Amino acid sequence: MDRPARLASTDEPAVDRDVAAQHVEGPTTSGHHNVVAESSGRSPRRPGRTTSILVAAAVGLVVLASLSDFVAKSLVIGATENAALVLAALGFALLYRLTGLLNVAYAETITLGGYFAVWLSSSLGWGFYAVVLPAGILAGLLSVGTYLAIFRVAKRRRVGDLEMIAMSFGLSIFLRHGLQFIFGYQVQFFDIAPPDTISVLGVGVPSFRLLALASVALLSILIYQFIQRTRYGLQIRALASNEGLAQASGVRPLTVTLLIWFVAGLAGGLAGAFYGVGSSVSPLLGSRQLLLVLLVVLVGGIWDLLGVVWVGVATGIALTAMTLQFGDGLYSSLVLIFAFLAVLKVRGRRLTAGTKV
């Protein structure tokens, strides 16, 4: 609808943006540029200081945890139980930051990760650990599929921002209800033995939760290293900051974009599998988590991709702590939603027409 106006302001960033310029001033407009943490190590002080702060914080928390059962529980359960949240947010943020697309249908990538895992484990008789990665890969492929079939076409047809969100909303609903046709209306459980628990700081944790936490850590590090260190990572950063220029200097946008969609889908699928094994798999699995994922991504994304990870971890711990305190998960969600909306109000990304793939 308002395509001409948008074109004027996005496709010619070099010329006078004039009245629109006030928006370009916002604190976070560097948005697509500092894709990952900007800690390229240029400032000699920073890495050392960050590390020591983190170590100090960790030591402090462990000390607190050994003194207080509540803190220990919040920390351990919060970090492990909500590892899937961090994973999901990381994948979503990758897509959002690098392609500019806020993909509501990501919820169904999560759901499908859960379904793929259940389906693989019941049809092949494999254990949970064996099916996690294949399920994630299938979800990644599906994610690539939705890009090729829908979002790529939409981008070529220059669908506007608002319309793009409405479209992904529609796709999300379509997949959610389509799933009910394929997998049935019933909630599904993994057919696995009760998990063995491992004691951490005196709190028993199911082993698959530890695996979830480990894969979050691993995936975060991998993605970070990938984007900061590799040739493809360089191309991704180039593409995200200036598509035209990147293309001109030989970046092949399709390959890179497909890669982004695959990694994002993989993270979402893994998250879905971990969510699923923690409780059950149903068509609403992903969409129940979507709002929290969105909030973590938008608020964490005010900083960078690692910001998303930290906000995700903090959210998980806060959620658990409040749930332990109130005895009801819904109240903690309520508090979190209010808190996040307040942060968005103050620091959210202003009305800019950012570059969108």
Ligand X SMILES: Nc1ncnc2c1ncn2[C@@H]1O[C@H](COP(=O)(O)OP(=O)(O)O)[C@@H](O)[C@H]1O
Residue 42 binding other proteins, by CB under 8 A: no
Query: CB of 311 within 8 A of CB of 321?
Result: no
Instruction: Output the 3-class SS for 255-323.
Output: HHHHHHHHHHHHHHHHHHHHHHHHCCECCCHHHHHHHHHHHHHHHHCCCCHHHHHHHHHHHHHHHHHHH
* Binding residue (CB under 8 A) for other proteins from 55, 58, 59, 166: 166
Residue numbers 261-290 binding other proteins by CB under 8 A: 287, 290
Residue 195: phi and psi, rounded to 5, are: -70, 150
Tell me, residue by residue from 95 to 134, as one string, x for binding to other proteins by CB under 8 A and - for no binding: -x-----x-x------------------------------
Give the integer Cα–Cα distance in Å for 92 and 82: 15
Shortest distance, CB of residue 20 to ligand X, whole angstroms?
Answer: 10
Rg (CA), the chain: 21
Give strand pairing partners of 200: 203
Tell me, residue by residue from 11 to 40, as one string, x for binding to ligand X by CB under 6 A and - for no binding: -----x----x--x----------------
The residue sitting closest to ligand X, measured at its beta carbon, is: 24
Stretch that binds other proteins, among 14-22, 87-95, 216-224, 243-251 (CB under 8 A): 14-22
Q: Which partner, ligand X, other proteins, none, binds residue 2 by CB below 5 to 8 Å per kind?
A: other proteins
Shortest distance, CB of residue 28 to ligand X, whole angstroms?
Answer: 15
Query: Token digits for 2?
Result: 């308002």
Residue 169, Ramachandran bin (φ over 0: left; ψ between -120 and 50: alpha; else beta)? alpha
Stretch that binds other proteins, among 171-179, 188-196, 202-210, 224-232 (CB under 8 A): 171-179
Residue 8 binding ligand X, by CB under 6 A: no
Query: Token digits for 104?
Result: 């509501």
Tell me, residue by residue from 208 to 227, as one string, x for binding to other proteins by CB under 8 A and - for no binding: --------------------
Q: Which partner, other proteins, ligand X, none, binds residue 29 by CB below 5 to 8 Å per kind?
A: none
DSSP secondary structure code for residue 188 in this structure: B
Site for ligand X, rule CB under 6 A: 16, 21, 24
